[in-house]
């Protein structure tokens, strides 16, 4: 029986990962590391509430597991500044990767974005690319990176840009065939299922 830790369990993908792990017989224990109550209750769910991820090292003994799912992400609008956005989407995943390396966590699965590239002129994609690069340098275990396009699903907070993007993608998705197929919107539940399936396959190898 395996143990999993989910960082960012209140987000669109993170919540799906937690819900699916709780119904998966491979995992006997799931720890959700959050900054606020995720509103989920289950006999095999442990909730670790941290006001600041900067203190995560103090809780290392509670974070020993077989898999880390890093589902951390925000928007520049919500973060307030580019610096705050970079801290959330780059620095926090990197800090978790360092912890995973120190604790010898067998598998780390992190969510990024399609088009992520450290040299991109787009700040969002550049940040995601730099995050991927930094995590690869910090963690030497089995690293899985999910790069979805527009995430589809019901968020707790309203994001106008994503809502507008969803409507546009739904209207033109039938045009996205061949090389463009990868840019189609994808349900958060599908991304979560893929992350979990890949992690299980590695653990069973």
pLDDT tens figures, 87-119: 999 999 999 999 999 999 999 999 999 999 999
- Return the structure tokens found at 177: 């065939």
pLDDT average per 10 residues of sequence, the chain (205 residues):
94 94 96 87 92 88 97 90 96 97 98 94 96 98 91 55 46 44 70 95 90
Note whether 4 and 23 are within 8 A (CB).
Answer: no
**What does the buried/exposed string (b/e) look like for 167-178 if buried means 16 or more CB atoms within 10 Å of the residue's CB?**
eebeeeeeeeee
Give CA torsion, residues 52, 54, 59, 62, to 10 deg. 70
- The whole-number pLDDT of residue 155 equals 45
Residue 83 φ then ψ, to 5°: -65, -45
- The whole-number pLDDT of residue 39 equals 81
- The whole-number pLDDT of residue 153 equals 54
- Return the structure tokens found at 98: 């360092």
- The whole-number pLDDT of residue 183 equals 45
- The whole-number pLDDT of residue 72 equals 94
- The whole-number pLDDT of residue 35 equals 84
CATH topology of domain 2-152+186-204: Rossmann fold (3.40.50)
Q: Give 61-93 pLDDT, tens digit per residue.
A: 999 999 999 999 888 888 899 999 999 999 999
């Amino acid at each position: 029986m395996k143990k999993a830790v989910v960082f960012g369990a209140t987000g669109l993908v993170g919540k799906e990962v937690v819900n699916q792990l709780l119904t998966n017989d491979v995992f006997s224990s799931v720890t959700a590391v959050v900054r606020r109550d995720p509103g989920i209750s289950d006999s095999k769910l442990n909730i670790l509430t941290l006001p600041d991820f900067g203190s995560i090292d103090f809780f290392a003994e509670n974070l020993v597991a077989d898999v880390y799912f890093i589902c951390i992400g925000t928007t520049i609008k919500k973060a307030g500044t580019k610096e705050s956005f970079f801290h959330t989407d780059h620095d926090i995943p990197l800090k978790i990767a360092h912890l995973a390396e120190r604790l010898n966590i067998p598998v780390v699965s992190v969510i990024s974005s399609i088009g992520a590239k450290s040299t991109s002129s787009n700040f969002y994609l550049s940040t995601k690319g730099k995050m991927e690069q930094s995590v690869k340098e910090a963690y030497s275990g089995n690293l899985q990176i999910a790069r979805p396009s527009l995430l589809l699903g019901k968020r707790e907070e309203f994001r106008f840009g994503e809502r507008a993007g969803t409507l546009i993608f739904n209207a033109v998705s039938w045009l996205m065939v061949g090389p463009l197929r990868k840019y189609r919107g994808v349900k958060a539940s599908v991304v979560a299922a893929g992350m979990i399936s890949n992690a299980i396959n590695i653990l069973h190898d």
